[in-house]
């Protein structure tokens, strides 16, 4: 591919509404928010840029999130940067909880230190709710069979 073709590819990926692409600095401040992030989380880019990731992290998960985030910033290592998916609850702008899966791409400065992260997120709320319903049904069936 030519440089122009690579630039066009990059621009198309970053502008896609399919998946959220969120970039934060080492302090957890949002620096990039694509149309997919707008669609999934409900915040326009102008509302999200410059804000803490806390706008999309449910309060009950924040301490655990920031503990992991700080560890990655300190060490530069994470298993979620190599293709493992992380599934977590998230917040939509309207306050409802959604389920997301994501991977991250660590960003390093010229000296090799962690400068921030890119998260590529997908809304899996429908699938999560369907699986929860199936598990409940299976548990109910197993309970009925155990009562016989």
According to DSSP, the residues that pair with 123 across neighbouring strands are 100
Predicted TM-score (pTM) of the model is: 0.84
User: What pLDDT shows up at residue 43?
Assistant: 98
Is the backbone of residue 76 left (phi > 0), alpha (psi -120 to 50) or beta?
Answer: left
Give the pLDDT confidence of 102-135 residue by residue, as tens digits.
999 999 999 999 999 999 999 998 786 777 777 8
Half-sphere exposure (Cβ direction) of 9: Cα atoms closer than 13 Å = 6
User: Using CB atoms within 10 A of its CB, is residue 116 exposed (0-12), middle (13-18) or buried (19+)?
Assistant: buried
Question: Taking Cα atoms as reference points, which of 74, 77, 76, 119 lies closest to residue 100?
Answer: 119
Residue 100 has pLDDT above 90, yes or no: yes
> For position 135, which CATH number holds?
3.30.450.20
User: What pLDDT shows up at residue 77?
Assistant: 83
Residue 81 has pLDDT above 70, yes or no: no
Tally of domains within the chain: 1
Distance (Å, whole) CA 71 – CA 61: 16
Mean pLDDT of 129-144: 75
Give start and end residues of each alpha helix (H) in the chain.
3-14, 35-41, 45-48, 59-75, 125-146
User: What pLDDT shows up at residue 48?
Assistant: 98
User: Structural domain of residue 53, as residue ranges?
Assistant: 3-146
């Amino acid at each position: 591919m030519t440089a122009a073709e690579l630039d066009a590819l990059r621009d198309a990926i970053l502008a896609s509404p399919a998946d959220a692409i969120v970039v934060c600095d080492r302090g957890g401040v949002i620096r990039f928010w694509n149309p997919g992030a707008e669609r999934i989380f409900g915040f326009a880019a102008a509302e999200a840029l410059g804000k803490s990731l806390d706008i999309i992290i449910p309060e009950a998960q924040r301490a655990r999130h920031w503990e992991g985030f700080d560890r990655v910033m300190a060490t530069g290592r994470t298993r979620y940067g190599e293709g493992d998916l992380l599934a977590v609850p998230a917040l939509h702008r309207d306050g409802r909880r959604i389920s997301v899966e994501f991977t991250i791409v660590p960003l390093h400065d010229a000296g090799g230190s962690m400068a921030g992260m890119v998260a590529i997120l997908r809304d899996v709320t429908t699938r999560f709710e369907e699986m929860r319903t199936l598990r409940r049904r299976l548990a109910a069936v197993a309970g009925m069979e155990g009562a016989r």
